[in-house]
Amino acid sequence: MKKDLQSMVNVAVFASGSGSNFENIATSDLPLSIKVLIVDNKDAKAIERAKRLNVPYEIVERSGKTKEEFEAEILNILKDKNIEYILLAGFMKILSAEFIERYDSKIINIHPSLLPSFKGKNGILDAYNYGVKVSGVTVHYVDSGIDTGEIIDQEPVVLRDDDTLESFEEKIHEAEYKLYIRALKKVLEVKE
Ligand code: GRF
């Protein structure tokens, strides 16, 4: 589908690390405009990607601030940008209930397991160590719990006996790239 400037949805993407999901969204044909990438870590590889892709970015670090100050700084960046959705893509900070309420049902996250299994920050490793035969990826709305919000879509990933943690991780990331776009198409009601 071609991007039509008239019907673009303004989003902000939040990331803390590599930013491969951010890049995948930024280079997709989704009818959205990434108004800003918020990064909470000045060493995040996501910053290099933003520079290369010409996406505006802001680094907001948490250290030396209260959680309220940290979030107020982010809200200040978002205000006046008409942000309709916040897309979390490997963002490692837990947002407060107050922040989430401001963007009620407008914050979306990708999690590398089939929720409600393996919540938390080690979804891939925990599933691998548990010895599951099938895991996967979930895109969900963010509520005030951890990885508990309403599920938008999921994609299974089969673990074969000869998979290593590395090959499993690779499969999970491939599934993420496919799923985040598919889930956003659903949310944005994009017709194929
Ligand atoms: C992904 O596995 C995502 O599911 C999790 O954090 C990772 C981010 O990877 N929430 P990247 O920074 O998008 O490469």
130-173 pLDDT tens trace: 999 999 999 999 999 999 999 999 999 999 999 999 999 999 99
Give the angle 73-32-69 at the CA atoms, nearest 5°. 10
The stretches in the chain having pLDDT less than 70 are 1-6
Q: Give the pLDDT of residue 191.
A: 82
Q: Ligand 1: residues within 6 Å at CB?
A: 15, 17-22, 89-90, 110-112, 176
Spell out the alpha helix ranges (H) of the chain.
20-26, 45-53, 67-78, 97-102, 123-130, 165-187
HSE, side-chain direction, 13 A CA sphere, residue 147: 19
Which of 21, 91, 124, 178 best tests ligand 1's pocket when mutated (most atoms within 8 Å of CB)?
21
Q: Give the pLDDT of residue 6.
A: 53
Which of 173, 178, 180 best tests ligand 1's pocket when mutated (most atoms within 8 Å of CB)?
173
Which residues are known catalytic residues? 111
Unique residue bearing structure tokens 């963007």: 103
Q: Give the pLDDT of residue 192.
A: 73
For residue 38, the tally of other CB atoms under 10 A from its CB is 22
